[in-house]
Structure 1
């Protein structure tokens, strides 16, 4: 799967720094990518069903290759704009590499009905995310709140909900760029310092355009 991601993001033939892939339990489909001791670590939930594993691996390896290709900083805290772009890129890469799933599966909300509510609140979510593009979000916080969400303990309107809304915005923003003619490889190579401006402009365009009738 890593080779497939590298080809999709136009990195085939390049050499990645050493990567440690670990299979960890009790993350309930919350994989992660982090840097530890100079080594990139990709965590894949060990309890995943075989049908879920390819999609999760596609998303997490995309996060890894994106970080490497765009030379993203390894700081635990990142701007919301970077989270929006990185999550959106990972979800759409999953859609490209593991076709035939529902949008709910690609955005990691296959059963809750949450995605349908996001579509209804699209303008509200986009405006809220746009206002916070320069704010910092912690990778470790994202993983914890994602875990709370999967266990049903994340408070409504709290960090878990905000992280999920950033993910929804990421799906729409990257979808918008793809419709404009950018490729996933193009997006993966954009400089980190440009992401706030790019995301702000894309959200502004989305706010004055109708919701697409069909998603990829």
Structure 2
């Protein structure tokens, strides 16, 4: 309940209570360990240091995580850095890819594993949407749809990122973004054709 001046408590409205119930449910689901392995899509990106070596090492590191059973990497694409105020062609460019993994980790544990690999490769979170040695985001986790203060699945900005959708489509032309639609159609809506790049 919400306290008011004078100490009175006001019960939550029906909409507020529904949001609280949904948040509580999603928090539970974020921490649930699956009974069977789940396919998840992870987005990988790097725009500092030796980007290609970093992505290769990140895939090896993912393969070594207990609970990650299989890792398949998409083609790698080159992209312009995106900052808070939009694309920044003056910033170092990114190499981007997606990895399809099969995992028995919970969504929260998978997120933590990615963050640990980021730190191992020198990731420092000094600036939101700043340059980075390595970025690992969960895009999908099976067909799960959750929203918590620290984890939203599917990734809320995947639908507008051709550097995620392009590699994902190249890896799996029939891929579906849960709750949204086919990745191929999302790419067409962005009027983007994914272009593979040779690794430097």
TM-score, reference length from structure 2: 0.26
Q: Which has the larger radius of gyration?
A: 2
| Structure with greater strand share of residues | 2
Relative to the length of structure 1, the TM-score reads 0.25
